[in-house]
Amino acid sequence: MRLRALAVPLALAASLAHPGSAQTARVRDLIQTERVAPRRLVGYGLVVGLEGTGDRSLGTTTGSVQTVRSVVNLLRRFDVAVPPERLRLRNVAAVLVTAEVSAYVRPGGRFDVQVASLGDATSLHGGILWITPLVEDPTQPAVATAQGPLLLSADAVERAFNRGGTAGRVPGGGVIEAGVTLAAASPTDTVRLLLRVPDLATATRIAGAINAAVGPGTAVTEDPGAVRLTPPAQAADTLWGFLAALDTLPVDVEGPARLVVDARNGTVVTGGTLRVGAASVSHGGLTLTIGDPSVGTRAGTAAAAGTPDSSRALPPTGVVRASAGASVQEIAAALQVSGARPRDVAAFFEALSIVGALRATVVVR
């Protein structure tokens, strides 16, 4: 059976496998093929062009000595000899450069690199990464190079004015110069589809969608993180053609119950609507009571006891009441109206998760 003849039955069979789901994703968005691990690259380099925020390199035993030696070696390659003790390098910083790139990226392919200060630089804002060799193993030759202007996050740029922002990235700054030799794939090979986020239900649904589209026994769930795939010989001309046909299969999935709280600005993000059960949490001078019979049936409509005003001293004091089953968004809004600070909001949700009132993983950033 040719790939073109197989594509339509694949899509039709998978669309009937799990009807009525709230969320549908393609197989390619859920898995990665077990063929070759990503290449992790690392290098040591210099960021130049800083406005006096680089390493405190004085050319002596104090300060970032490695930065001075690196610049001396760099200049020596251009036949420029400068005594180390004469260098004052407040515009240069020694950095570690890291990257992760697919093994299938061929020579000439570009990728992003991450840059982080190694010395005592106060900010990398406005710097340019000098061409840096990247290796997979310090004992092996370089397989890529990286260079280009640094891009810092918005928060890092803001902190740069207050002596911060010592990490950033160079979009498209890396270039592969040496590829890896990959073994040719055969249609009879047995491969595994590795889930990006291990989950037994998702793995089972992926296997079911593939079996419904191709035939029983093609896919078997090994564990929450892997689906073993045995392609039929007649499925496609090559293994990669068969896998490409599977990539677009729709699979019904349920997103993980996860709550992300930014402890700096108070942003609360959930994947769907999460409800909170009865509980009582006291933190600082503020008490959160969920499941109070005196609260109306509309969850989260109760305001904090005593609306805060500008004259109230921090931390906030009072009581926030809501009915059982209130959503995370309603609880977060009530806490913020009460005057709770971002780190207080994070502490409340962590406590709710610990006592079991919130059935979700809380991630605080």
The DSSP secondary structure of 123-158, one letter per residue, reads: --TT-EEEEEEEBSSTTS---EEEEEE-B--HHHHH
Give yes or no: residues 87 and 146 share one domain: yes
Give yes or no: residues 192 and 154 share one domain: no
Who contacts 360 (Cβ-Cβ below 8 Å, separation ≥6)?
Answer: 257, 258, 259, 270, 274, 328, 353
Mean pLDDT value of segment 85-99: 86
DSSP-based three-state secondary structure for 85:
helix
Q: Which of 224, 252, 280 is the last residue of a domain?
A: 252
Q: Could you give the percent of the chain with pLDDT greater than 90?
A: 17
Give yes or no: residues 136 and 197 share one domain: no
Strand partners, 149: 128
Give yes or no: residues 80 and 11 share one domain: no
Tell how far CA 59 is from the center of its chain.
Answer: 39
* Alpha carbons 31 and 96: distance in angstroms, whole number: 30
Give yes or no: residues 31 and 43 share one domain: no
pLDDT classification of 307: cutoffs 50, 70, 90: very low
Radius of gyration of the CA atoms of the chain, in A: 28
Q: Which of 199, 220, 252 is the last residue of a domain?
A: 252
pLDDT classification of 183: cutoffs 50, 70, 90: low
Q: What total number of domains does the chain contain?
A: 3
* Alpha carbons 222 and 231: distance in angstroms, whole number: 16
* Alpha carbons 164 and 155: distance in angstroms, whole number: 9
pLDDT classification of 272: cutoffs 50, 70, 90: low
pLDDT classification of 17: cutoffs 50, 70, 90: very low
pLDDT 10s digits, 215-250: 888 889 999 889 988 877 666 567 777 888 888 888
pLDDT 10s digits, 330-360: 888 888 888 888 888 888 888 888 888 888 7
* Alpha carbons 224 and 112: distance in angstroms, whole number: 31
Q: Which of the residue ranges 40-54, 83-97, 129-143, 199-213 would you say has the lowest mean pLDDT?
A: 83-97
Closest CA to 174 of 283, 88, 101, 261: 101
Give yes or no: residues 195 and 125 share one domain: no
* Domain boundaries, position 68: 39-176
pLDDT classification of 70: cutoffs 50, 70, 90: confident
pLDDT classification of 184: cutoffs 50, 70, 90: low
Give yes or no: residues 167 and 220 share one domain: no
* Exposed/middle/buried for residue 209 (C-beta within 10 Å: 0-12, 13-18, 19+): buried
Give yes or no: residues 152 and 53 share one domain: yes
Q: Which of 160, 176, 192 is the last residue of a domain?
A: 176
pLDDT of residue 349: 84
pLDDT classification of 3: cutoffs 50, 70, 90: very low
The pTM assigned to this predicted structure is 0.59
Give yes or no: residues 223 and 98 share one domain: no
- Region for 167 from its dihedrals, namely left if φ exceeds 0, alpha if ψ lies in -120 to 50, beta otherwise: beta
Give yes or no: residues 156 and 248 share one domain: no
* Alpha carbons 88 and 113: distance in angstroms, whole number: 28
| Inter-residue contact 272 to 290 (CB < 8 Å) | no
Give yes or no: residues 337 and 239 share one domain: no
Give yes or no: residues 196 and 269 share one domain: no
pLDDT of residue 62: 52
Cis check for the bond before 198: say yes or no (omega within 30 of 0). Answer: no
Closest CA to 92 of 63, 131, 56: 56
